[in-house]
Structure 1
Amino acid sequence: MMPEQRALVTNRDIEALAAQAAMQTPGVLRLEPTIRDLLGRIGPTGAARSGQGANRLHEGVVATINDGIARVHLDIATDITYTALQVAQTVQDRVCQGIRKTGLIPGNVDISILAIEPANATG
């Protein structure tokens, strides 16, 4: 009998999972790219993260995996008609649930709300 094969979960996989969880949460308008995203793409630590460098797909999301623990930071904009704290807590819960499904342990899931605005705002 063959031992069970465990799929390799990368930082990029966790970033995609977190981005999807956030964007499917009522009250989240968008992910917010920041200077941290730019530095993460061009700096030595960004390039070293699983060889991703400038190929990051999810601006506003940074994930790291160490010793089976996935840590995530999301920068988001929320809809003014929702309570920002409740939106952030729901995003945290959804991201943690998704991480558990990968077989990893959720670490810190930090949410920064960078904007609170009407859903129909242009900009």
Structure 2
Amino acid sequence: MSEQPIPGQIVTGKLIASLAARTALETPGVLRTEPTVQGLLTRLGPAVIRKFSGAGGPDGVFRDDGVTVTLSGGTARVHLDIATDIAYTALNVAEAVRERIRETIRHTGLVPGEVEISILAIECDRGTTTE
């Protein structure tokens, strides 16, 4: 049996953010990630962020719609802003998302650091009927 090299992928903040968002969206009760004003400003450029926050983003920080990832010393910290379905208990959804993201990070070979989940909206899913 010959061992073929397995093509690898460098684990980046962008990859972790993508995995975190996808993991969250696959969790029952999560409707979407929630982009914030800070995320919009980040897309406009680091100078705008420095102007409004007083500091620039450090190396190893990646922000995308509703997700912020910080990589440092083999540890990945995640902050995720989400909207949840009113048919689910928000606290239970947040805890499930947190644990699933921590497990996803472990699969990348990184150590999961703090995983913060902020619920910015609780709405009725249009595909769900409540009576």
TM-score category of the 2 structures, normalised to the smaller one: 0.7 to 0.9
Partner residue, 1:38: 40
Q: What is residue 71 of structure 2 aligned with on the other side?
A: 65
3-state DSSP of counterpart to 1:30: strand
- Name the CA distance, whole Å, in 2 between partners of 1:100 and 1:119: 31
What SS does the aligned partner of 1:65 have?
Answer: strand
- 8 Å contact 2:60–2:72 — kept in the other structure? no
Structure-to-structure mapping, 1:1-123, within 5 angstroms = 7-41=9-43, 42-44=45-47, 45=56, 58-120=64-126
State the 4+ residue runs in structure 1 displaced beyond 3 angstroms: 44-50
Query: Where does the alignment leave 5 or more consecutive residues of structure 1 unmatched?
Result: none
Which one-letter code corresponds to 2:83 in the other structure? A
2:46 maps to amino acid: G
Task: Measure, in 2, the Cα distance between the counterparts of 1:14 and 1:39.
Answer: 21
Cα distance, 1:40 vs. partner?
2.4
Alignment-mate amino acid for residue 33 of structure 1 = P
Higher helix share: 1
Q: Any stretches of 5+ residues in structure 2 without a counterpart?
A: 1-6, 48-55
Report if the CA contact (8 A) 1:40-1:46 is conserved: no
Give the letter for the 2:11 counterpart: V
How many aligned positions are there?
113
> What CA RMSD, in Å, does the superposition of the two structures yield over aligned residues?
2.5
Identity across matched positions, percent: 53
Query: Max radius of gyration: which structure?
Result: 2
- Please report the TM-score for the alignment, with normalisation by the length of structure 2: 0.77
Q: CA deviation at 1:11?
A: 0.3
TM-score after normalising by structure 1? 0.81
